[in-house]
Amino acid sequence: DIQMTQSPSSLSASVGDRVTITCRASQSIRSYVNWYQQKPGKAPKLLIYAASSLQSGVPSRFSGSGSGTDFTLTISSLQPEDFATYYCQQSYSTPPDTFGQGTKLEIK
């Protein structure tokens, strides 16, 4: 099974900061990584698919990059509504899908 290792597990930042979250796959998954944002009590929301494609309706301050085994999610200028937990997920292999452990983004 493909493992996804996400870091950091938590992150404190201020409004306006640029933040980067990383995800490493245990083998090459080409560009088949997706990023989700989850707020308390809600289902995850798709932000980025295929490593770098912005889901419709998602603000352009969110971006993704990477291929092979190493991927990043960047938020260029944090807004108050961005404080949430973020997950990466690989869709290269057949299910079951695997997720990163999550990154909880908190207000400094």
Would the CA dihedral through 51, 53, 57, 63 be positive or negative? positive
The count of residues interacting with another protein (CB under 8 A) is: 24
Q: Does 101 bind another protein (CB under 8 A)?
A: yes
CB 88 within 8 A of CB 99: yes
Radius of gyration of the chain (CA): 13
Residue from 5, 77, 97, 106 touching another protein (CB under 8 A): that is 97
Site for another protein in 15-44 (CB under 8 A): 32, 34, 36, 42-44
Stretch of 10-18, 20-28, 70-78, 93-101 contacting another protein, by CB under 8 A: 93-101
- Return the percent helix, strand and coil in the chain, to nearest 5: 5, 50, 50
Residue from 49, 64, 75, 82 touching another protein (CB under 8 A): that is 49
DSSP, res 82: G
- Shortest gap between Cβ of 54 and another protein (angstroms)? 12
CB 90 within 8 A of CB 71: no
Interacting residues with another protein (CB under 8 A): 1, 32, 34, 36, 42-44, 46, 49-50, 55, 87, 89, 91-92, 94-102
